Chains A and B, each alone.
Chain A
């Protein structure tokens, strides 16, 4: 059975951010023809081809796996290559803006190096000694839990949407952001890792700044349950170490 072509207008208005800084830049409207099955990135290519050849857009795989084409479509952080035109109301202009949390380079391209600097502050995996037979073993149920975190494609949409740094630039120094809580959780919950990063998560990466409003989980294109599976379990581990009076009493009475 042949699938009917997607219904909808043949032309849309793309309202795209243009400029090299947020103070002097502005949105520019482009009226472009569209075809069924297009995603936002396709439409921007058409804008480049027809009316704005100098429009700066970062992209790479066009398959939702490289994490390059992150932007804000109608005010919501999305991968442009995975946002189908048919999922948006086409009778109004479609707004495409750069990620608000990061410094603007030009048009839709932002400087995400903040994230790479944060990544450097997380101690690497340090495996336990090998078993007597010279191997290291992990069991399936242990692999599955950390595997979810390894799906992260580093699109930084979670970092973009997190209000702790999106609305409060001054917190960038003290707060690593959800992507790096995912990274910390992946290492902390790894059955073979021997590094302890709990104090680091609390003191240096600012886990306490997160007020679990779950926006990071809402925007994750890999459907990682960032808040429930990474951040809250890390918070609970921090509570055990630093805030639980019962654990404290037990340690005082019985030793660690």
Chain B
């Protein structure tokens, strides 16, 4: 026997569809707030041999640990991180994965599949300002350079200062954290959709470019987990900075083994 029920609901989904956007909203908000204060702090970002990834490359004369010789002179007395924050920020803001994540969690366009958009009008990425998402590829090149610089930092993180003024090889928890961080960043950066396009996706005739096809296949495999690496690398950058900061403040002690020190 049928009974009629007039049902007018926002969505007919019964699963907990709101968990993912809510989680990402909290995670991204927490990261933005933390990185803002860490980035402008201008202190506690270097404990020999660990340099916070927020401050690398350190290029201003007032830097506690210069990556290269000072590119910005002594006139600059704010945090060195301000000079470089735009590069990773623009890369992540225009990243295809992050676009999905924040369109869902912040703009609710849509918050989840078959959950109605929060706004009545929608023009997507066809007009200003979102048409600027198309510059994503231009942000990828500096992001690659940053990966190599952070890899150098990670290598230096295994060389600890000695009492005689030199450096000795060792392994500390910070060295491992910085290594994991740069590996996650590399997996994220080289699994990027533009990277996949650049190294082979733009071709129609793979057989003419076998090396490009091999690269395309490798990047495609990496790209399957692009979202995972996007989140993991975000968390690892924040945690690495937090570790260096707590170490610098004397809140924690770095467990380490130094050979021949």
| A residues with CB within 8 A of B | 15, 18, 26-31, 51-52, 72, 74-77, 89, 92, 95, 97, 100, 139, 141-142, 145, 161, 163-164, 166-168, 171, 188-191, 193, 206, 208-215, 218-219, 227-228, 232-233, 235-240, 242-246
Which B residues between 183 and 209 are near A, CB-CB below 8 angstroms? 193-194, 197, 201-202, 204-207
For residue A212, which residues in chain B have a CB less than 8 angstroms away from its CB?
96, 99-100, 103
Q: Among the listed A15, A51, A191, which residue makes an inter-chain contact with B5, where contact means beta carbons less than 8 Å apart?
A: A15
Name 30 A/B residue pairs within 8 A (Cβ), A-sorted: A26-B4, A26-B6, A27-B6, A27-B7, A74-B15, A75-B12, A75-B13, A77-B114, A92-B14, A142-B206, A163-B110, A163-B122, A168-B117, A168-B122, A188-B204, A191-B204, A208-B125, A208-B131, A211-B99, A211-B100, A212-B99, A213-B100, A213-B113, A215-B110, A218-B113, A228-B223, A232-B193, A236-B193, A239-B134, A246-B138
- Nearest A residue to B109, CB-CB: A211
Q: CA of A214 to CA of B223 in the docked complex: distance in angstroms?
A: 14
For residue A210, which residues in chain B have a CB less than 8 angstroms away from its CB?
124-125
Q: Is the CB of B6 within 8 A of A75?
A: no
- Nearest B residue to A142, CB-CB: B206
- Nearest A residue to B135, CB-CB: A243
CB of B245 within 8 Å of the partner chain: no
Q: Is the CB of A240 within 8 A of B124?
A: no
Q: CA of A15 to CA of B6 in the docked complex: distance in angstroms?
A: 11
Q: CA of A219 to CA of B134 in the docked complex: distance in angstroms?
A: 26
Q: Is the CB of A74 within 8 A of B12?
A: yes
Q: CA of A246 to CA of B206 in the docked complex: distance in angstroms?
A: 24
Name the residue among B4, B103, B104, B136 with the largest chain A CB count within 10 angstroms. B4
Q: Among the listed A193, A211, A228, which residue makes an inter-chain contact with B125, where contact means beta carbons less than 8 Å apart?
A: A211
Q: CA of A75 to CA of B130 in the docked complex: distance in angstroms?
A: 30
Q: CA of A51 to CA of B1 in the docked complex: distance in angstroms?
A: 6
Q: A209 with B126: in contact, given A190-B204, A233-B197 (CB under 8 Å)? A: yes
Q: A213 with B110: in contact, given A27-B5, A29-B3 (CB under 8 Å)? A: yes
For residue A191, which residues in chain B have a CB less than 8 angstroms away from its CB?
204-206
* With A213-B110, A233-B197 already in contact, 4 other A-B pairs whose C-beta atoms are closer than 8 Å: A139-B205, A211-B130, A232-B193, A236-B193
A-B contact count (CB 8 A): 150
CB distance from A90 to the nearest CB of B (A): 12
CB of B116 within 8 Å of the partner chain: yes
For residue A189, which residues in chain B have a CB less than 8 angstroms away from its CB?
204
Interface size of B by Cβ–Cβ distance < 8 Å? 49
Q: Is the CB of B12 within 8 A of A95?
A: yes
Q: A163 with B117: in contact, given A208-B124, A239-B134 (CB under 8 Å)? A: yes
Q: CA of A163 to CA of B119 in the docked complex: distance in angstroms?
A: 11
Q: Among the listed A18, A75, A142, A232, which residue makes an inter-chain contact with B114, where contact means beta carbons less than 8 Å apart?
A: A75
- Nearest A residue to B227, CB-CB: A214
Q: Is the CB of B1 within 8 A of A76?
A: no
Q: Among the listed B2, B121, B125, which residue makes an inter-chain contact with A28, where contact means beta carbons less than 8 Å apart?
A: B2
For residue A18, which residues in chain B have a CB less than 8 angstroms away from its CB?
4
Name the residue among A27, A31, A238 with the largest chain B CB count within 10 angstroms. A27
CB distance from B230 to the nearest CB of A (A): 13
For residue A235, which residues in chain B have a CB less than 8 angstroms away from its CB?
134
For residue B120, which residues in chain A have a CB less than 8 angstroms away from its CB?
168
For residue A246, which residues in chain B have a CB less than 8 angstroms away from its CB?
138
